[in-house]
Structure 1
Amino acid sequence: MRVITGSARGRRLRELEGMETRPTTDRVKEGMFSILQFDIEGRRVLDLFAGTGQLGIECLSRGAAEVTFVDRRGDAVRLIWENLRVTNLEAGARVIAGDAMEYLRTAKQRFDLIFLDPPYASGLLETALEEIARIDILSPHGIIVAEHPADHVLPVLAPPYRLHRVYRYGKIGLSVYHRGANQENEEQRS
């Protein structure tokens, strides 16, 4: 597992041992960052269910302003810090050891880009999507990228959120949601 491009290009990241964490495959990660290539620089990113931290680290390498990593496993949190040190990207990172859903309920800031990649059979993906829409922590014109089994259909979210597109990479699917602008911003432009 390597960083694809940016300041840490080519740096090898360590992986967690065991089967509890499933890192995003290189093919899916390359597709994901091809989709997002113009939506990263200068942005605030949330890597929820961060695991190894590879998605957030890729964003920092590509110029994201800051990335918040959240994972409940102590070994994952330690590995994220280790991977940040290897890539020299600690300055833009905030790593939180704790439950992802609890973090969402107490989040105080908005994010421009949110990655969701919980364990597939946990049911946490739908819960996280609905909670993000309910508490509305995505910035206007922000993006959510959710990784899931390709045959899994994710829920429709209430406006201003909308499912933009679903991409398939073999057995893996990426659902990309966009958040529209705030109503008052739209009215001011008219």
Structure 2
Amino acid sequence: MRVVSGTARGCRLQPVPGMNTRPTTDRVKENVFNLIQDHVRGARVLDLFAGTGQLGIEALSRGAQHCDFVEHNKAAYNIVCKNTETAHVSDRAGLHRTESDAFLSRAEKRGYDLIFLDPPYGGGILENALASIETFDILSADGIIICESAVEDRFTHRFETVRERRYGATMITVLRRRDGGTDEEHENCDLSGQL
């Protein structure tokens, strides 16, 4: 597991001990970031189920302004802390050891341009997180959400689905606000055909 591009390119990140986390593969991560590259530089990012922190760290390496990493598991949280230091991005990282709902209820309204959701598969966690993101209105007007789920997982939401792409047993879904942004902003967020 490594940083694919940017200032920390090639940096090796530590995994969380045990089998409770399922890191995004480098192949999937590279494809996702190729898709969203125009949305990363200068962005305020939320890595809600941080795990190892690799998605948020990749965003910071590629020029994101700031990333909040949220992880309630102590072992995983400690790994996020170590990985942000190893990648030399800790000065732009907010580290939060808390449950996702507790964090979202305190988050700044329309504060995030890019949100990564990669929770444990199944169990409705992803669906609940999307509902909370909508309730607390934390996605910026032209922001996007990147969801990683199992192919067989089904979840409902009120966001607009921009793109879906399958990678083996993994599904990547890109969402944006239905009411957000101007026509020009939506043109800048046209991701169709790129993933």
TM-score by length of 2: 0.89
* Distance in 2 between residues matched to 1:41 and 1:92, nearest whole Å: 13
The answer to whether residue 42 in structure 2 is matched with residue 45 in structure 1 is no
* Distance in 2 between residues matched to 1:169 and 1:182, nearest whole Å: 29
* Distance in 2 between residues matched to 1:182 and 1:31, nearest whole Å: 25
Structure 2 partner of 1:115: 116
**Counterpart of 1:119 in structure 2: which amino acid?**
P
- Which structure 2 residues correspond to residues 95-114 of structure 1 after superposition, within 5 A? 95-109=95-109, 110-114=111-115
Structure 2 partner of 1:23: 23
RMSD: 1.5
Bigger mean CA offset, 37-46 vs 76-85: 76-85
Runs (5+) with no aligned partner, structure 2: 184-195
* Distance in 2 between residues matched to 1:35 and 1:173, nearest whole Å: 14
Q: Deviation digits for residues 127-176 of structure 1, max 9, x if unmatched?
A: 0011111221000010000100113233141xxx3111111101100111
Structure 2 partner of 1:162: 160
Q: Deviation digits for residues 26-68 of structure 1, max 9, x if unmatched?
A: 1211111111111100000000010000000000000000000
CA displacement at 1:19 relative to structure 2: 1.1
* Distance in 1 between residues matched to 2:73 and 2:172, nearest whole Å: 24
CA displacement at 1:181 relative to structure 2: 5.4
Structure 2 partner of 1:141: 142
* Distance in 2 between residues matched to 1:27 and 1:155, nearest whole Å: 27
Q: Secondary structure at the match of 2:156?
A: coil
**Counterpart of 2:114 in structure 1: which amino acid?**
L
- Which structure 2 residues correspond to residues 71-90 of structure 1 after superposition, within 5 A? 71-90=71-90
* Distance in 2 between residues matched to 1:103 and 1:156, nearest whole Å: 20
Bigger mean CA offset, 21-30 vs 56-65: 21-30
* Distance in 1 between residues matched to 2:163 and 2:78, nearest whole Å: 34
CA contact (8 A) 2:149 2:171 kept: yes
The answer to whether residue 35 in structure 2 is matched with residue 63 in structure 1 is no
CA displacement at 1:108 relative to structure 2: 2.4
**Counterpart of 2:35 in structure 1: which amino acid?**
I
Runs (5+) with no aligned partner, structure 1: none
CA contact (8 A) 1:141 1:181 kept: no
**Counterpart of 1:171 in structure 2: which amino acid?**
A
* Distance in 1 between residues matched to 2:160 and 2:17, nearest whole Å: 36
CA contact (8 A) 1:68 1:96 kept: yes
Identity among equivalent positions (%) equals 44
Bigger mean CA offset, 118-127 vs 59-68: 118-127
* Distance in 2 between residues matched to 1:108 and 1:178, nearest whole Å: 18
* Distance in 2 between residues matched to 1:123 and 1:153, nearest whole Å: 9
**Counterpart of 1:43 in structure 2: which amino acid?**
A
* Distance in 2 between residues matched to 1:105 and 1:168, nearest whole Å: 31
